[in-house]
Amino acid sequence: MFLEFLSRRYWKQFGAIAAVHIITASYGVTVGWPAPIIPLLRSPETPLPTGPITVEEASWVGATLCIGGTTGTILFALLHTYLGKKVGLLLMSVPHIILWTLILVGDNVWYIYGARFCSGLTGGGVVSVVPLYIADIADKRIRGTLGSLTIIFINIGLLFVYSTGGYLPYDVLPKIMLCAPVAFLLLVSFLPETPQCLLRKGELAKAEKSLMFYRNIADESAKTGDFYAEFEEMKTAVAENSKTRLCWADFTTPEAKRGLFIGVFVMALNQFSGIFAILTYAGTIFQLSGTGIDPTLALTIVAIINLSGNLTSFTIIDRVGRKILLLLSAIGVGLALGVLGAFSYLQTNGHDLTGLEWLPVLALSATLFLAAIGITNVPFFIVPEVMPPKLRSIGSTISATLLCMFAFVLVKLYPILMESIQIHGTVWISSGVCAVSVFVIIFLIPETKGKNLNIQTGITAKR
């Protein structure tokens, strides 16, 4: 599959998505920014003239991103629904420019709150517009591979800020990052709107040209039977979805209920498995679990492990399938967190664990790697695949909005839980969530590898 992916027929799809993911990688930088910067803001060497921030203020620096994410998910869902996916993508650069400007000029923590809220707005666009854009333009043979790139680019951004944020002067990183949305605007502006959006506007000729672009078909003579069949399927699907307005009855069909349940479930698993909170507080968890590893080194290790897991998923997902990766990920993360909790529990209760100091490092590393191949990756592109075509946009919006709400709860709760029931109690809760999810995945989650998104019914329709 990977060699097929590199073939000439797919390079425009890859190039388009790589251009879009400039903003995704930039969003990854903003997600990871608090890890190296909050210690600086809380120290006497803080760059803020108002002085060091408090613990409560630091927690809100993390949480305001999730509030902005909830708002941004709804906002960008409306924008891409009424103005098209290309316009939705381009507008994602606006809050991103604002956020780095606020950090650059801000002289108190309220500027940072505003910047983090704007970061969440961009993140809302990343989770609500980007997966649907990929679903629209990607060939079904490599849709999973291209979908995996979203998390890969987020983790590239994380790796960059984790490895450099502690060394660059406070005002240098914003100056560097302001270049990213400019490059994003220039490149994405040259991409055509997706064929589905153009068909909904009744622009058949432009829709066909768009599909030719994304399928790397140079002229009329190069069209194949597969191309004509795909375009006819698109036209039929869009026409069917345009016949009637969305109504409550659309949400009550068995296919709709199943799709919405799966969407909510995978987003809940993405957060309540604790992975996002663990990424946020990885340095603290390493310290409290008794490894003695340097927190700065831990941040870089975390980012590299995440990226390695995402690259693994990228290379195998369209061969192995979504369900099996989600299942293996849930089992592996549950077991690894169980081991991490057991080590912390034994150490807290005075057991001699000399010679086993490496175990929590291995357990947390395994947790992050195994999460990256499924739990943190698959939900972002499985949702469009399980939704009925008519509900694909609203269903993805509902799922992404709930994701941001779940993230807010976890980011605020994890420090409190780590203090009240310690590391072992906290990670055991997440381990329990993974254990329950295994049964849901086995019995209720379908395999969607190669599903034709233009087919109106049948979740398991394959190529």
Do the beta carbons of residue 120 and residue 64 sit within 8 Å?
Answer: yes
CA-closest candidate to residue 321, choices 415, 134, 447, 427: 447
CATH of domain 1-191: 1.20.1250.20
Q: pTM of the entire structure?
A: 0.80
Distances (CA, A) of 140 to 23, 80, 177, 229, 364: 24, 22, 34, 13, 34
Please measure the distance between the N-terminal and C-terminal CA atoms of the chain and give it in whole angstroms. 15
Dist. CA 430–CA 332, nearest whole Å: 12
Structure token pair of residue 435 = 């254990």
Give the side-chain half-sphere CA count within 13 A for 363.
26
Q: What is the pLDDT of residue 457?
A: 41
CB proximity list for 323: less than 8 A, separation 6 or greater: 441, 445, 446, 447, 448
Q: Which residue has the tokens 């310290």?
A: 287
Domains 1-191 and 249-449 share a fold: yes
95: helix, strand or coil: helix
For residue 338, the surrounding DSSP H or E stretch is: helix 322-348
Nearest-angstrom CA–CA distance, 379 and 72: 18
Taking the C-alpha atoms of residue 181 and residue 177, their distance in angstroms, rounded to an integer, is 8
Top-level CATH class of 249-449? mainly alpha
Tens-digit pLDDT string for the chain (463 aa): 444 545 567 888 989 999 999 999 999 999 888 877 887 888 898 999 989 988 778 878 878 998 999 999 889 989 998 899 999 999 999 999 999 999 999 889 999 999 999 999 999 899 889 988 998 898 877 777 787 788 889 889 988 988 888 788 999 999 999 999 999 999 999 999 999 999 988 899 999 999 999 988 888 877 888 888 888 888 887 877 776 677 888 888 998 899 999 999 999 999 999 888 887 766 566 656 555 566 667 677 777 887 888 788 778 877 888 899 999 999 999 999 999 899 889 888 888 777 777 787 788 888 989 998 889 888 876 887 888 877 877 887 788 888 888 988 888 888 778 878 888 899 999 999 999 999 999 998 988 776 666 554 443 333 3
How many CB atoms neighbour CB 252 within 10 A? Answer: 9
Domain-by-domain residue ranges, the chain? Answer: 1-191, 249-449
